[in-house]
Structure 1
């Protein structure tokens, strides 16, 4: 299925049912009173996060979704049936915006999470509701209110633990295929990856993390040059970035300039990405002498004032990746534990204030 991470749609909630005007007409009951029932509420429209989905492709085909209208009330104080709600499954990580104002309505980050995006109309009242000691035969009813109609924009940001970034032909797809079961297209030309690819990386029993590979970034990507700019949003939710660099420099691309290019594009797209933990992976070291690898590592530290980890790897050699995988798993688990501690302390603080 084609990967789609943006979609526009129209949602229409159901109208509320009208109240009924009715009077009792029974044998041997000479003074029958009002017995008009209320209408039913209109159905609402909900988005539901579904971990089985990874694209918004279906919403490029069908763009209008309606919930059911509430039924009208009836005599004998019968209430109209409530209109059925409409549930629209979306991938986990979907953000919903109002198209008119670009206001964020909600962010679905957990499987099974629901978000009401169009509220159903309220039911109308039957004439039995208006009976009183001074008005024993009311002919007043109310109509149901219209359901909400909204124009929405859905935007998908993939949820992954690690984001893989780099220039075209740096070896990102090869790395993804080496450490996970994902099978992206691999070829010796730029932009073989045309859409984000997600793989699950195992670091041992009951220990794994997800890795997303983006199309190669080039200079100007943050302004729309190349393919990667459309998918930069998918690394905004990651806890860690793998910055892959072609250490061989076969195509005349100096590794230092490669690093600067990607760092600049991340900064320009979202300054928060510049502060995200980023590990440098010097790839294709199987084609270099150990002395050349050491020299390149020293250049990175001195010319870029690099403070983060630097790994010398070969994406085609799984044995050179074991240390990277285990240390990445440890870092992710530490971040998760810290987030859980922060959440617990926040709850404790709120309890004390209350």
Structure 2
């Protein structure tokens, strides 16, 4: 069996790749370089020229060849490599007639606990989102910001006392609404300085959040370690990281209690499985990052099924509300009790629908960044 075509294509706001073989098997993958889809598509075209004519079953060899063939990497390159890796695992599973997790050592669980996204431009909307999640059966909510999902076009200003004080108050209010039957995954989107993160983290300990996600920018790992050492709330981070080496440096600093590898960015299923093993050695949980499309979720669930230290799966229900379900046919579902079923179909459990590219045409988000009232750039 050899690869005959590597075809990248945009589907709504997601970048996919199909890898076809001479035996009729087709694998699908997704790139996690969601801010730079055009650049990642170019990398897929480049990688595809190497893959055509090769066996799709030499997954690790192809991974090493593509990764080490260039001195330059980053999100666009690693998103492309991740998409290819996922698609190759999809083909391997179909070739052997088993779901991918069976090739990774077999399942350690038959369902994956998930958290859904909660959005809101007002405190009332965020609270309503928590209530709705409970009614849908979820036992955890995420993407839950204490700062509001304010439009980036709106200039920002708060005093430090307002910024931190209101955020602390919000998290405690979220706990009142959620009760103890719902875990809170508090999302900060890297918008605080280390000093601010310590103030906020100390102030929300009593609300018992499951974790505090991305309190500071990931550019300096020592800053994340500083925050982790000063607060008693677990930190989750890693969604911007692109390799096992990034995660090794993070873990070696005791800067994280829940790693957040993006399967579509860290080198696919191959990369995510290795990162999970690094975390397992330190009793650190795995919460796969997943703000993407249905193919990403299907790939994440292969990791969730086969990784002993899996903790929680991000499930972007709100983000996918406008995405036509028939564009990608999937072999998983929410069971109504806060869990996603693990795909049992051969491969990853996701297939391109017959009319997908017509019903989900490309939609590239514009470049936007929020500004402060004084005209400077704000992290949000």
- TM-score bracket, normalised by the shorter chain, equals under 0.3
Higher relative contact order (CA 8 A, sep 6+): 2
Which of the two has greater helix per residue? Answer: 2
TM-score (norm 2): 0.24
Which of the two has greater strand per residue? Answer: 1
Query: Which of the pair has more CA radius of gyration?
Result: 1
TM-score (norm 1): 0.26
